[in-house]
Structure 1
């Protein structure tokens, strides 16, 4: 499955997880340390919004170098970053950077799903715009640590891993 198909599938999976839930079910936290299903989806939207904003800046700053996006391979640091944003051994959790936390307020289902869809739509636009690009040569900064820059290929892979991680957690919260 290519990155565009994967992103569309993830967008649909998130919508389906919330589709038949009441707002109470969407906002119910199993305990104080565990995010609700709605918070998982909200976090995905927040991360995509921030990451895509940096990708869009990178694409606006320079011409998109032509190339085969499937030729991209992560370097050592990119592999570590991609691993870090996914599930950790033993269920260990990485801290969430400031500004990437989901809302602590009860979430309105409709507003959440609109935001979730919009974040995926923006990400899909970046993916489609770079379908014939050399993903290694385009670098985007991290919204959390602006001095950290990775290739678009790394950002695409990280967003796929991170989104699946939170969708898996959300799926386990379904009533």
Structure 2
């Protein structure tokens, strides 16, 4: 534990106080004599004492054969435990795939933030789509070049109703 703590102390010494310092940890590695969640909680307490603002809690295996439950939010309980027992803000990861799920993690007090690597790779506008979903359709967070046009498109789609095929062209006659 000494080396990463020395790195954190050195970074904290030169990092501006008004900028957050996060540290990503692997909460468990599920290997014999490997890192446990209890180890991570203890480590996170020291990180907090050194001035770390949040612990980004992930988990992973070292080598082959790591068996663990997989499902939506499967690593969120690690972030929740670190948050509760080390009394430090956390970032949760682990198959968090949509806005409602991410909001539930934060609203439920399991973590202070969520991180979405693969979802953002799949949809670079994930954050904008999530903001729109959580604000019931508002394009306010979108750039001014796109938001009003997308809102106009949505109004037109609402008037047209869903495309039912098979004809790929459905033209609405203008109204007077």
TM-score interval (norm. to shorter) = under 0.3
Which of the pair has the greater relative contact order for Cα pairs under 8 Å at 6+ separation? 1
Q: By percentage of residues, which structure has more strand? A: 2
Task: Provide the TM-score with structure 1 as the length reference.
Answer: 0.20
Task: Provide the TM-score with structure 2 as the length reference.
Answer: 0.20
